[in-house]
Chain A
Amino acid sequence: MAKEHKEKIASLEAFQEKIDRDEKIEPKDSMPETYRKTLIRQIGQHAHSEVVGMLPEGNWITRAPTLRRKLSLLAKVQDEAGHGLYLYCAAETLGKSRMEMTQELLSGKAKYSSIFNYPTPTWADIGAIGWLVDGAAIMNQIPLCRCSYGPYARAMIRICKEESFHQRQGYEIMLTLAKGTAEQKEMAQRALNRWWWPSVMMFGPNDANSPNTEKSVKWKIKRYTNDELRQKFVDAIVPQAEKIGLVVPDKDLKWDKKRNNGQGGYAYGEIDWDEFWRVVRGDGPMNNERISAKQKAWNEGSWVRAAAHAHALKKQTALQAAE
């Protein structure tokens, strides 16, 4: 027993040294069980978020105001489907099957980003999502391109290349509305009001309440803490809002020259963590709607999957007969 324990510690230390040397971990390399589990959970949740994230925007594809906007939105939503697939494939390299992940999403067992449990009542919400939600996702994803797990890092590089168009198209929508009629500007402002706090919450709990962060940073799964990323996000977005004449809905927002190690940054108001946890636990405005939409799509697609399998089998049989 004692010997086994010693061996375990030695292999943990060897693993940490490998990480410290900035070596990547590849699927068949040995890795601590917690590292594997942490990644499966994180990559799985990330994949589910991309997939569920198509729903609030998909809601507006048929109602986009111009053909140009419609093309962009279609391309963006299609990209998000791709992101989900890159990530499922990265999670599969760790030994979890696609079917298992799909079932967990459909049964409501798996988590996905809470941001997608908010509704998109106006066209301006599509602008706000691209600008703020994809903006926050980019903040999160850029450091993940250097994640210690090879397949995850490679998927993130591909994703980050595609994301910047998402944020730009969203900001362009907001800019256009902000320059439009008083009503259009008002619509943009209201969408910003709705999406601002949920976007700030996207980075997760404060560092003091995020017990897994330390281990993830040590294993170079995460490179920055939740609060560090949140600060970067606020600092980037505030001037962008000013530029188009919109107001970030936070009365406590002010320049604080002590932030970012004395380089300066924005101080922001208290986040409503009760709301955050309420939505995480399933009580957001759209939680049920999102899961039922996924279940409906899965059930209605069942005959397509069955037909594809039958077709594959038929061709295989014909091929064998010919041989």
Chain B
Amino acid sequence: MVGEEKETILWEVFIQPKNGLSHRHCGSIHAPDREMAMLSARNVYSRRGEGQSIWVVRSIDIVSSDPDEKEETFSSDDKIYRHPTFYDVPDDVGHM
């Protein structure tokens, strides 16, 4: 009934709602090539004018950081001098 069929390529879809905003990830789709990926991305993720530009990227081409190394990768608690509140400025200087 269901023959052995190949899995199609998985693509991640990014949509830019309008100029001035960045493309944002909205999900994924399956398609055998870029043209069909673009066509499906449009049909699946933009049926109500959600965007004016679409990017599709093969999921396997995305390099991702290791979630188990979140601490090491992103911790900056020891670098509080990178934040404005670290610096003492008299109150009457006003907004700075």
Contact = CB atoms under 8 A, between A and B. Distances in A.
A322 interface: no
B7 A106 contact: no
Q: In which size bucket is the chain A interface? A: 35 or more
Nearest to B12: A89
B30 interface: yes
Interface string A207-236: 000000000000000000000000000000
A29 interface: yes
A307 B45 CA distance: 24
Size class of the contact patch on chain B: 20 to 34
Interface stretch (A49-57, A185-193, A240-248, A295-303): A295-303
Interface in A69-101: 75, 78-79, 82, 85-86, 89-90, 92, 97-99
Contacts of B48: 162
A29 B32 contact: no
Contacts of A298: 2
Given A29-B67, A79-B47, A311-B33, A89 B28 contact: yes
Interface in A270-323: 295, 298-299, 302, 305, 308-309, 311-312, 315-316
Contact of B2 (A28, A78, A103): A103
A144 interface: no
A92 B7 contact: no
Interface string A123-139: 00000000000000000
A106 B67 contact: no
Contacts of A122: none
A308 B28 contact: no
Contact of B30 (A78, A98, A103): A98
B10 A92 contact: yes
Nearest to A307: B32
Contact of A312 (B33, B43, B64, B68): B33
Interface of A: 26, 28-30, 75, 78-79, 82, 85-86, 89-90, 92, 97-99, 102-103, 106-107, 154-155, 158, 162, 295, 298-299, 302, 305, 308-309, 311-312, 315-316
> What are the 10 tightest A-B residue pairs by CB atom distance, in nearest-first order?
A312-B33, A312-B32, A28-B67, A89-B28, A308-B32, A89-B27, A309-B32, A99-B7, A85-B44, A103-B2
22 contacts: A28-B66, A28-B67, A29-B67, A30-B68, A78-B47, A89-B27, A89-B28, A98-B8, A98-B30, A99-B5, A106-B2, A158-B26, A158-B27, A298-B2, A302-B3, A308-B36, A309-B8, A309-B32, A311-B33, A312-B33, A312-B36, A315-B33
